[in-house]
Amino acid sequence: MASSQSSSSSISGRGGNEPDDQKSLPQLETLISHLLAAKRSLSSINHVWRANEIVTASRSALEESVVVSSRTNFLRRGLNNQLRLLYNVRSEVEEISYRGRQEFSEALKSLDAADARLRSTLDLLRETIVDASFRPKDEEPKSLHDFVDERGVEELHEAMKSSIDRTNTARGDLDISNREFDDELASIKRALRHYRSATKMASSRASASSSSSASVSDSDLLALSSMPGMLQSLETHAQEMASLLESLVRHFDLCVTAVKHTEGGGAAARSITGDMPAEVQTSGDGMPNFGDEINANLNAPLDPMSDQEYEEMVNVLTKDALEAEDVVMEIQDRISEMESVYEQVGIHRDALLSISNATLQVHRHLSTLASTRLPRYISQAHNFTQVWSEENDRINSGLTELSDLHSLYEGFLNAYDSLILEVARRAHVRARVEKVLRDTKHKLTQLHDEDVAAREAFRVEQGDFLPSDIWPGIGRAPMQVEFLRVSGGQLPALAEGQDPEETAIETDAEPKTGAADENASGEIIPDLPKDMIERAYERLKARGGNFV
């Protein structure tokens, strides 16, 4: 709108019965209607103040969004590292648990197998009854197990049971700890799902308000990047609205001046402007002081104005009056656009806040876990590793002892079967010795009888011719041989320190036989059944034992 020129002289009688050259000028009623319309248009100042509030609030929202976005991005990078570290820790703990279970399971299988072999051997010892011929008369039958001290086996079993129980306790504690760890991870996953839902929803709202599309990870970047442009648009609208309001104020001032310079218009102007709204009398923060300007124009003294100046002013006023309504509509359109943009700013800010709150929730969860419960989960894994390392050494030692006991008792079985074969061998040797003795005795008796007969024949044939004192032995009978049985005593390994010359000697020309042959040598050789010897031989052969 154009502004009027002030005049140096006052004009009176305008707007009444005018000369012909002024009949084209508007009447006072028309000027008053323009003034009333201009007064009403000044209510647009409320839109301008609202625009100023929107700009201020949007600027604050942008500042808040920048801070929130920076904090969220920082937390998100930290969350990614923490989550990666957390899942690495869980994988390590699970690997420790899995490896420990595998090793423990294998150790138990080895223990069970070794114990089964040992128990099988002990059962064989119980089933193997010592032949009565080896034991004193009237003694109750005994098995080989009666000669075994099984306290070592029981003590070993107790030690292995203690190691297994301690390992099972540590493994149970680790399993409980791992389940709690998994519950924590499940809770974190729920928080992450909430985080993704929040970011997805925020992204959808921000994308819809920005008429563009963005991924979940870019939603905060989209919201933040579009806000400066929105703020710039709001500031532009606010400045344009202030300019438009300023033109309306000038138009109002022009109407007041025109009415005042028209005959009879002073009172009307005072009446119309006397009740100006309070909001027009003041100005908002950051806004031009339109209220002071209007008040100054209302209270200013009337300057003189020439007819030409008055005519020019009225022409400008009439032209501006036609445009005032359009200016008011433009202000309304701009404030509507600003309200829409401001709503988008709020949506973007709320999207960033929603993402930030979801991120903070996950961060608080992870921080609490890392500071309170995670050290306990890690410590439990280390405790299981330490316990299993100690008990694994004990179990391996127990396996070695079980194997040694099994070898010892199996050696006992082999030794007993070998004893049976040894008794059979000794009986065979004794039989051969007795046969040699019998054969020798028969030959010696035969030689003795032949010698006696020959000596008697010599005496009969030559005795009458030989003097009896020529050789004292001529009339003696031949010598006789007696067998001496000498005790073998103890073998050096069985009778340490015994004098090998210390033997019992007894004369006995006739060998003795019986179930248990005890002769002058003091050695008793049991008479074992043939089938017993054959079974011992087969058992030794099946076990790969040594036998003669």
Environment class of residue 56 by beta-carbon count within 10 Å: exposed (0-12), middle (13-18) or buried (19+)?
middle
Q: Residue 348's closest CA among 454, 202, 490, 458?
A: 202
Cα–Cα separations (whole angstroms), residue 491 to 135, 413, 425, 523, 527: 20, 23, 17, 12, 22
Cα–Cα separations (whole angstroms), residue 533 to 33, 113, 204, 528: 146, 31, 95, 7
Q: Residue 37's closest CA among 262, 314, 248?
A: 248
Tell me the pLDDT tens digit for each residue of 205-256: 655 555 444 444 455 555 567 788 888 989 999 999 999 999 889 888 888 8
Cα 405 to Cα 159: distance, rounded to the nearest angstrom: 15
Q: Is the pTM of this model over 0.85?
A: no
Cα 422 to Cα 540: distance, rounded to the nearest angstrom: 13
Cα 330 to Cα 325: distance, rounded to the nearest angstrom: 9
Tell me the pLDDT tens digit for each residue of 69-114: 888 888 888 888 888 888 899 899 999 989 999 999 999 999 999 9
Environment class of residue 21 by beta-carbon count within 10 Å: exposed (0-12), middle (13-18) or buried (19+)?
exposed
Cα 175 to Cα 483: distance, rounded to the nearest angstrom: 83
Residues whose CB falls within 8 Å of the CB of residue 195, separated by 6 or more in sequence, listed in order: 355, 358, 359, 361, 362
Environment class of residue 71 by beta-carbon count within 10 Å: exposed (0-12), middle (13-18) or buried (19+)?
middle
Question: By percentage, how much of the chain surpasses pLDDT 70?
Answer: 79
Is pLDDT above 60 for 506? no
Is pLDDT above 70 for 159? yes
**pLDDT at residue number 522:** 64
Within 10 Å of residue 230's Cβ, how many Cβ atoms?
20
Quick one: average pLDDT of 285-299?
Answer: 54
